[in-house]
Amino acid sequence: MKTELIWEGKYDEYGNRRTVDIAGCAMPLQKIETIDEPASRAQVQGNLFDPVKAHRDDFRNRLIWGDNKLVMASLLKEFKGKVDLIYIDPPFDVGADFTMNVPFGDSRETIGKDQSALEMVAYRDMWGKGTDSYLHIMYERLVLMRDMLTEKGSIYIHCDWRVGYYLRLLLDEVFGVDNFINEIIWKHQIMGGAHGRRYPKAHEIILWYGKNEHHLFDEDSKFARVPFSD
């Protein structure tokens, strides 16, 4: 007997642990468009990216739209065991409204993006069935991310009070308790004092795990917040 997090779908009807099934998930990626670096951003970045090393082996940054399980399954052949750093921003279980304003070009203009019918269906099917579906979907994706990391790789998971304790237990199972490195507190700007009959919720959490004890750490490194979406 052991202490573990259980959800519907973790074990099959015979009590065996279900593996992540990616058979048939891998598919060729279709290029929709190529976007050049905006001049203003390139000037701000300066020499942040060495132009000689930036496109090693003709690699380019890729913005991929689609179900992230299918995308990672498609990238495994090329990147399995080759990624040093993964930073994800999974849903916080706050609802299904993905409406946003998307800036474009070097101007201050934006385009309003409403939630599409596909996104509404995907949210309902993948995240809208309660805690069990959330845990199952996250477990499958965390296993794929672990497989993509190098032996010195790390993963950072951005979350908050809603799901942080669930994700911590999932990560302990996928990466191992001994590979937990740190819990980073991201403190918010607080406007005013306590709200109503409670203290304000003034921070979010970044959970940091390594593939193993040989993880890289650069004290001068900086990273950007990257959205995790389907």
Q: Strands of 149-159's sheet, edge to edge?
A: 83-88, 149-159, 203-210, 180-187
pLDDT of 73 reads: 92
**Considering the domain 39-210, what is its CATH architecture?**
3-Layer(aba) Sandwich (3.40)
pLDDT beneath 70: ranges in the chain: 1, 35-60, 92-129, 190-195, 219-230
CB atoms within 10 A of CB 159: 21
- b or e along 112-126 (b: 16 or more beta carbons within 10 Å of the residue's beta carbon)? eeeeeeeeeebbeeb
pLDDT of 109 reads: 67
pLDDT of 63 reads: 82
Sequence-separated contacts (24+) of 140-145 with Cβ below 8 Å? 140/20, 140/69, 141/68, 141/69, 141/72, 142/170, 142/171, 142/174, 142/175, 143/20, 143/174, 144/20, 144/22, 144/69, 144/72, 144/73, 144/76, 145/72, 145/86, 145/88
β-bridge pairing 203-210 and 149-159: antiparallel
Would you say the pTM of this structure is higher than 0.75? no
